[in-house]
Amino acid sequence: MKLMKYVSLGLLMACRLPVSSQVVIGGRNVASFGIDGDLSLDTALLGSFAGFAGDDWFVNPSVRKKGGLPAIDSTAASTLRSQMQGTVAFRKNSSFTRSMATARNGVYRGNRWLDAVYFKDQADNDATTISGPSGVKVIDNPSTWKLGTSGLSAKTDILEVLSHLRRKGTASNDSLFLLLGMGIFGTTGSKNISAEFFVNPVRYDSILKKMNNLGTQGGRNCWQFTPGGAVRVMGDLLLSVDYNAGTFTLEPMIWMRRGTYDSFISTSPPRSPLYFDLIAFNAQTTGVNGFGYARIRPKTGSGTTVAWGSVNASPSGSAAPWGVASATGYGWSAQYEANQFLEIGLNFTALGVDPALYANFDDCAAPYQSLICYTRSSNSISSSPNDFAGPFRFWSQPRLYAKIKSSDTLRCNKLNARLNADSFNAALNYRWSGPAGSILQYAPDSSWIRVGKTGKYNLSAAYIRGCAAVRDSFVVLADTLRPKAKARVDDTIIDGSVAQVTVFGGDTALSNSTLLSSVFGKAGTYSWYWTGPSGFTSVAQNPLVNLGGNYRLRLTANRNGCFAFDSVVVTHLGTEIRNLQCDNLGGQIRLRWESELKQEQVRFEVGRLSSKGNLRLGEVSNRQEGIFKNEMEFWDESPRTGNHTYRVSMLHPSGIVAESLYCSVNLSNDLQSSPEITILSNPAKNLCWIQFQPCEICQNGKCEILDCSGRVLMTEKFNPGNSLLQLNVSTLPQSAYFVRLCVDDDCKTTKLMVTK
């Protein structure tokens, strides 16, 4: 059977026309990219065509930019231009690579750019040539090729290779287009130029002169199909271009097992894959037999244009910004000579080799990881290869990350946390999720979020929304353990005796044990902050104070900013309240006292001591009927029978508190309900014996020793049915004290002297 090539590309009437109308020749914009035999942006070498302001390979500084974008990064172009112009040796022996000018997978001017690469090859005595073995074919196993440095004929000497891949639109399954450009030193003679796309990331060992990391199926990877003809595995792909003085034809081929090919064509009628037909099979001759390249074409009658192409038929085509080695003596030129550069555009989707066509493939899949271009000295697929360029990393997706690197923890002083992906790629699509209502700040496709709740947060990242994603999760914790604040004071301010006392911020041992965590570690350090009367503040743990009143402590754990409060009242005995008297007047108690005359309003709070502490009875003000007084009076109108002890506190607006001494009064002589008390040894030194009238019907007895400020120093519970109580006062310093004896809620108070 005579084999026919389905696509034919060339210039005007110089091309070989194909059987079907699958070709567009001359200048065109293909997926907004200029295919016109020229590398410059916003120019049309082959006349003015629709969409003149299309994208192209490079920016042309001499042309006013009309809106297109360059595919190749031309950073340091001026330096390379100087070097290219400088010496023949640099033009011959240098090689360098440039990548895409934008981020991969990004959307630019309405199209999604997947990848691009530019490579300048050596010329003349080339270090990347294929010189054997004798009879080697392009389709033979690349591991058998003899690679190294040798001279080349001009017609097979590669100058440059350019490749670009984009989707015509922003979606993951919009039509996929390959743009390919090749510069050849010689302009005459027939030759073959092949671009081969490998599934594996092929590497060239320039020391051992070997291709490494090839496939295991004849040095490549085979295409595999389902019984219905859908692609199950995409294998290696070859684009073979036969080129001769301005005319060329293109043949796409896929790597297959011979048995797979025969299983299609041996049926009657012959079967074919789902989206393309198999035309012919070219078998290997060396290495592992049974493999080869099968020529393919789109389904007959599809009516879809799949390929476009052009050649610079005149020397007016602009080269790369750094110039090119001319065909005359390897001189420098800013443009290609006629027929030195060919450019091809191929619709992979229409051809049937787009992974997005098949349900079992991710739309964002990158089936190929490397590209090698090489030449042959004739246009036969069986001829021996000569020069090669590559392998280049091409179409291989950059590694997709979705690792959450943040370790933010919610704390008392940090009510929200920021979570970050470990890297940012503007082309990636990020999606976050977490507990309901927990994400406080989140921009679509953002690589970070701010959250306000504990819980598990999830991140997924994909190149395009809807494509396969990688995922990670992170649990946000909250360090909200609080310290234990305990404020205390062990002394009283007494005019003429004690001018200042210390308020204590407590021992931190309890806080240390409370904050100890297997996740967050030890408690760390603390901060103290005191507030008190007359605007008092202090950051000391144990500050000195010289005013009576309420002092409030805020203890903060510096590790997490959590805090706790406690307060303590400092008693001030002095001249603020003098001569407190308690009188029994007909079953009511009248309290009278004096204070310094103040021309501002202060409050006096009256309290009666009980077994449960100080019982607040009420308060009076020094401002009465518009005048300020220094003689005050208060009536306890319904006291219970028994012995009562009273105290008055002055509450200044600034927060200062002053206390009076105690006064006591008895409303009953019934010793059964409120027993009289007698201290048998007064003054006492070590032991104090207290005698009282027993009460058989009483339930609870409590004896307390208080200092002159009213602070309870000792407490002893006793049985009210007995009549004698012993107290050990050996630990008390020499001073005057009060003994308060309470049976149920009735109390009596008497004075005790302790000597040493």
Q: Does any domain span residue 194?
A: yes
Are 329 and 473 in the same domain? no
* Ranges 20-29, 467-476, 530-539, most confident: 530-539
Q: Does any domain span residue 671?
A: no
Give CA–CA dist 489/571, Å, rounded: 9
The predicted model gives 151-175 an average pLDDT of 90
Give CA–CA dist 627/642, Å, rounded: 37
The predicted model gives 590-604 an average pLDDT of 88
The predicted model gives 719-742 an average pLDDT of 88
Based on DSSP, count helices (H) and strands (E) in the chain, helices before strands: 5, 60
Q: Tell me what pLDDT residue 444 has.
A: 65
- Indicate if the pLDDT at residue 618 is higher than 70: yes
Are 464 and 516 in the same domain? no
Are 185 and 256 in the same domain? yes
Tokens of 291: 């493999």
Are 258 and 142 in the same domain? yes
Are 474 and 519 in the same domain? no
Contact status, residue 159 vs residue 132, Cβ threshold 8 Å: no
Are 137 and 87 in the same domain? yes
Are 334 and 451 in the same domain? no
Q: Name every residue whose Cβ is closer than 8 Å to that of residue 458 and which is 6 or more positions away in sequence.
A: 432, 433, 434, 471, 472, 473
Of 362, 393, 424, the domain-final residue = 393
Structural domain containing residue 75: 12-393
Per DSSP, what are the bridge partners of residue 392?
371
Tokens of 213: 């990391």
- Indicate if the pLDDT at residue 17 is higher than 60: no
Least confident of 436-445, 640-649, 709-718: 436-445
Calculate the average pLDDT of the chain.
Answer: 84
The pLDDT tens digits for 706-726 are: 887 677 889 999 888 888 899
Dump strand ranges (E) for 168-264: 176-184, 190-198, 203-205, 210-212, 224-225, 231-233, 237-244, 247-257
Q: Does any domain span residue 399?
A: no
Dihedral, 533, 537, 539, 542 alpha carbons, nearest 10: -20
Residue in the structure block whose two tokens are 């007959």? 300
Q: Does any domain span residue 400?
A: no
The predicted model gives 219-231 an average pLDDT of 93
- Indicate if the pLDDT at residue 301 is higher than 80: no
Least confident of 481-495, 518-532, 742-756: 742-756
Better pLDDT: 273 or 437: 273
Least confident of 83-92, 114-123, 185-194, 608-617: 608-617
Least confident of 28-32, 228-232, 499-503, 605-609: 28-32
Q: Tell me what pLDDT residue 178 has.
A: 96
Q: Does any domain span residue 5?
A: no
The predicted model gives 202-209 an average pLDDT of 91
Enter the pTM of the model.
0.64
Least confident of 152-161, 216-225, 449-458, 471-480: 152-161
The predicted model gives 426-441 an average pLDDT of 84
Domain count for the chain, please give it: 5
Q: How far is CA 740 from CA 198, 613, 647, 662, 756, in A?
A: 100, 12, 14, 11, 22
Which residue stretches of 284-438 are H helix? 348-351
The predicted model gives 481-501 an average pLDDT of 88
Are 363 and 296 in the same domain? yes
Question: CA nearest 561: which of 498, 630, 479?
Answer: 479
Surface-to-core class of residue 431, CB atoms within 10 Å of its CB (0-12 exposed, 13-18 middle, 19+ buried): middle
Q: Tell me what pLDDT residue 747 has.
A: 78
Are 537 and 603 in the same domain? no
pLDDT band of 26, cuts 50, 70, 90: low
Q: Tell me what pLDDT residue 165 has.
A: 96
Q: Does any domain span residue 550?
A: no
Are 462 and 499 in the same domain? no
Are 374 and 454 in the same domain? no
Q: Tell me what pLDDT residue 340 has.
A: 87
Specify the length of the chain in residues.
756
Per DSSP, what are the bridge partners of residue 107?
112
Q: Tell me what pLDDT residue 593 has.
A: 92
The predicted model gives 728-746 an average pLDDT of 86
* Ranges 221-225, 598-602, 659-663, most confident: 221-225
pLDDT band of 678, cuts 50, 70, 90: confident
Q: Does any domain span residue 30?
A: yes
- Indicate if the pLDDT at residue 574 is higher than 80: no
The predicted model gives 341-358 an average pLDDT of 91
Handedness of CA 532, 533, 535, 538 (dihedral sign): negative
Of 564, 596, 630, the domain-final residue = 564
pLDDT band of 655, cuts 50, 70, 90: confident
Opening angle at CA 48, ends 46 and 54, nearest 5: 95
The predicted model gives 86-107 an average pLDDT of 90
Q: Tell me what pLDDT residue 675 has.
A: 54
Q: Does any domain span residue 298?
A: yes
Better pLDDT: 317 or 250: 250
pLDDT band of 12, cuts 50, 70, 90: very low
We report the CATH number of the domain holding residue 700 as: 2.60.40.1930
Are 580 and 445 in the same domain? no
Surface-to-core class of residue 733, CB atoms within 10 Å of its CB (0-12 exposed, 13-18 middle, 19+ buried): exposed
Least confident of 137-151, 284-298, 555-569: 284-298
Residue in the structure block whose two tokens are 């021309």? 599
The pLDDT tens digits for 60-83 are: 766 666 678 999 999 889 999 999
Least confident of 341-350, 351-360, 486-495, 635-644: 635-644
Residues of the chain with pLDDT > 90, as a percent, come to: 36
Of 634, 666, 698, the domain-final residue = 666
- Indicate if the pLDDT at residue 561 is higher than 60: yes
